[in-house]
Each structure stands twice: as structure tokens, then as C-alpha cells.
Amino acid sequence: MRLRRTLLLLLLLTFGVAARAGGLNSLKTIWETRETPAEVSAENTARSNPTAYRLPPDKLRKAIALHRIDEVFSIAGSVWVPVQLLLILSLGVAAAMRDLVVRLSGSRWAQGFAFVALLLLLLVLLNLPLEIYGHRVALAYGLSVQGWGSWLNDKAKMLALEWLIGGLLAMLVFWIIRRSPARWWFWFWIPAIMIVVGGVFVTPYVIDPLFNKFEPLAQSDPALVRQLEKVVARSGIAIPPERMFLMRASAKYTGLNAYVTGFGASKRIVVWDTTVEKSTPDEIAFIFAHELGHYALGHVVTGTALTCVALLPLFWLGHRGVRLLLRRFGTAWRIPTQEDWGALVVLLLVLSTLSALAEPIANEFSRTIEHDADVYGQEAVHGIVGDPQAVGLRSFQVLGEDSLDDPTPHPAFDLWFGSHPPIWFRAAFAEAYDPWAPGEHPKYFAK
């Protein structure tokens, strides 16, 4: 599920910035389907069984070291984004870029796209050392096999996409700001909804194929499709084989993954070829059933709809934040009004700061839907695989080993940055969850 950034803003705006315990409990009340006794029992058992997921000594050392690096990178990345934008403003770079594009052309279109290009190039240069180090770590720990040429090519394509989309959005928002300075946040919300919905729809068709190769799963592994169709039939959801795709991830990555993306006619389930190569048919069925849970429980559609709703307060907060900062620091930054091209950097500063503050709330929501998909997946393969509990445990063991997941991550780090439940909990829950036992009842399927 690639909903993290969407949820980050969504939950901030819908439920507020405060990450109090009561706020998190309210989130769970709103989003969690009522837990069954079997689920509660399995959760309690899982919490007392942190050794269900284990690593051999050599992999354990690597996993711990990798987790320490991830901690530093996650914290640094969360702080560095608003810091670099603040530096661009405080050092007068934003104003200097504005002056340059205004001198180059009298055309608003040329100025807007030139300013966005300069800003993106500057951000790329500021972030490049961290990104290079991150890729070196991935290569050193065997998480990636992508060569530097391919890696740079992906970065170039992403930069071009960001420039095209970012330039169009910048032109649109500044056009609206000039015509309605006090209400631009509302008028921009209307086209933004269409952009979000259209973006989610076209991503599987347009964006994803730019970075990876996809093929119908039926073309490469028809026997596996027949196995997965049993899971689909078990769920009662209509997912034709033509919406099942294999992604040739092995050209770049070594990890295991699958995900659901798009909606309507573009909705599809994608399985990485590394998952197919390293997992048994039963384990693939379990992983597929987890993704089917996202499909069946409407996580993509729900996330898209709620994001559209949340955009309104998001833009209002952006408007208020920009006005506040310009009143206080506009003279020092040489950015007098929100119609100035440099105000784009101020707006990004406000949004990135709010995102950093909202991280734990967003991830609490993400962990909830991922756990729900785990429950759904284990129930969906009942009667298809011989022992759903053993298959689930083994699936998470293979996933954790391949990704070098630390069996004992720091709880505070998981609370703030973990978008999924920790792998040890997922493995222990899968081992303990048996809603088909006498006296128990499944959560999503009739017994």
C-alpha cells in the first residue's frame, strides 16, 4: 500500500496535529472494524511472543545495524525537508531565483516553470548526498541490485515528472491567488480534487511503467493465477486475471512486495517477481490475500475520497501559514506578498512542517489498515492452504529475513515512523490467529 504521504496530510487535517493518546484512540475507534474475540486473543498472545520472528546471527547483526541507519535517516529526513526550505528563504535564495526568472522573461508561464525548475534542481542538490549514501547502503546490505546508471536515470525521470506536474500546479495556484487572494485555498480545492482522482486513476497506466516493467501474471505464471483465482473466488470479489500483474522488480530490488493501486478500471494487484521466486505457492496466496484485503476493504478508494475532503483544510492551513510567515519575515526574505513566486517556497515550508508533525498520527492509521488486511488475508486463504497460521508465520519470516527487519525495533521509533505493524508482531499474530476454532468467529467471512 502506497498511501503513506496521502494519509500523512489526511490525518493531520481531519483529526488535528496533537498526537495525544486520546487522539490516537479516537482514530482507532473511527477506523477499526469491531475486533472479534479471536482477534483480541491473538493480539494479546502476539504481544507476549516477541520471538515468533527470528534471524540467524549473521543476519541479526546486519538487521540491527541497518535499523540504526534507518533511524538516523528517518529522523534526519523528517527534519531536513523543512530546514532546507527555511535556509532557501533565510539566505535570500528564493528571492534571488525570483529576480532571475523575472529578468529572463516577461511571460508568466516562462517565469513559473523556470522558478519551479530552479527550486527542484536546488532541492535535488541539497538531498543528493543523503540519497547517494542511502543507495550505497541498500547495495551494501543486498537490498538493491540497481546500478548507478539506472538509479540516476530514475532520478532524472522523477525530476522531469516533478517539473512538469509541479509547474502546472504552480501556474494554476498562482493564477487563482491573483484573482482571489483571500479565498484561493477554496477555489484551488475544486480542481485539486479532480487532479487527485485523475492521478490515482492514471498512475498504473502512465507513471508506474516509467520506472518498472509489468506484464500480465497469466502470461508468466498461469498456474499461479489459477491458485490466486481460488483466493478471489473465496472472497467473492470480481478481480479478473487481466488485473493481476507481475512487476520485474528483480532488475532493481531483492526484497519481497506486492501492492494494490488504482481504482475503477485501473485498479490492479501487482506482485513482484522476487516474491514469486522466493515464496511457495501457499505463501504467495497469503501475500496476495493481504493485498486482496486492501482491495475488498476499499482502502484505496477510501483514502482517495478522504484525501479530497482533507485538501480543503490543508489549503486553508497553507494560506494562513503563508500569510503569517510573510507578515513576520516577508521583508527579511524579500518576499512581499503571496503572489510572489518566492511564496511557493513558503507554502512548501508550511506543508512540510505540518507533515513532519503529523507523522505518528498518519502511521497509526496506516498500521490499522495494514493489520486489517493481515486479518482479511489469513481468513481469505482458509480452506485454500493447508495451515493458514503456519503459512502466515512463514510468509512474515521470509519477508523479514529478506528485508533484514530488526526483530527488536525501538517502540518509540515504530510509533513515529512505522507505517506497518512490526514484523515480529505480524508473525506472532499470524501464528496465533485462528478464528475457525470451535467457539470463535471470523471477522470478515462467514464461518
- Delimit the domains of the chain by residue range: 4-214+295-432
Sheet of strand 258-261, all strands in order from the earlier edge strand to the far edge: 214-216, 244-247, 268-272, 258-261
Phi and psi for 261 in degrees, rounded to 5?
A: -150, 165
Percentage with pLDDT > 70 across the chain: 92
Evaluate if residue 7 carries a pLDDT over 70.
no
**Local confidence band at 33 (pLDDT 50, 70, 90 cut-offs):** low
Residue 118 C-beta-side C-alpha neighbours within 13 Å: 22
Q: DSSP 3-state assignment of 297? A: coil
Is the pLDDT at 214 greater than 90? The verdict is yes
The C-alpha atoms of residue 424 and residue 407 are separated, in whole angstroms, by 6
Asked if the model's pLDDT at residue 11 lies above 50, the reply is no
pLDDT at position 23, please? 36
> What percent of the chain lies above the pLDDT cut of 90?
64
Alpha carbon separation from 144 to 65, 139, 140, 259, 332 (Å, rounded): 17, 5, 8, 19, 45
Max Cα-Cα span within the chain:
77
Q: Please write the tens of the pLDDT for every residue from 351-368.
A: 889 888 888 888 888 899
Q: What is the CA radius of gyration of the chain?
A: 23
- Strands 258-261 and 244-247 turn out to be unpaired
Q: Which of 27-41, 80-94, 246-260 has the lowest mean pLDDT?
A: 27-41
Q: Which residue has the higher pLDDT, 34 or 102?
A: 102
pLDDT at 330 over 50: yes
- Quick: pLDDT tens for 181-199: 999 999 999 999 999 899 9
Task: Name the band, by pLDDT with cuts 50, 70 and 90, for residue 239.
Answer: confident
Strand intervals (E) in 319-379: none
Residue pLDDT, tens place only, 378-435: 999 998 888 999 999 999 999 999 999 999 998 889 888 999 999 999 999 999 999 9
Contact 396, 283 (CB under 8 A): no
What's the CA gap between 79 and 439, in Å, rounded? Answer: 50
- Can you give the pLDDT at residue 359? 84
DSSP string spanning 80-138? HHHHHHHHHHHTTHHHHHHHHHHHH-S-HHHHHHHHHHHHHHHHHHHHHHHHHHHHHHH
Pick from 2-16, 65-79, 111-125, 344-358 the range whose average pLDDT is largest. Answer: 111-125
- Using 50, 70 and 90 to split pLDDT, how confident is the model at 47? very high
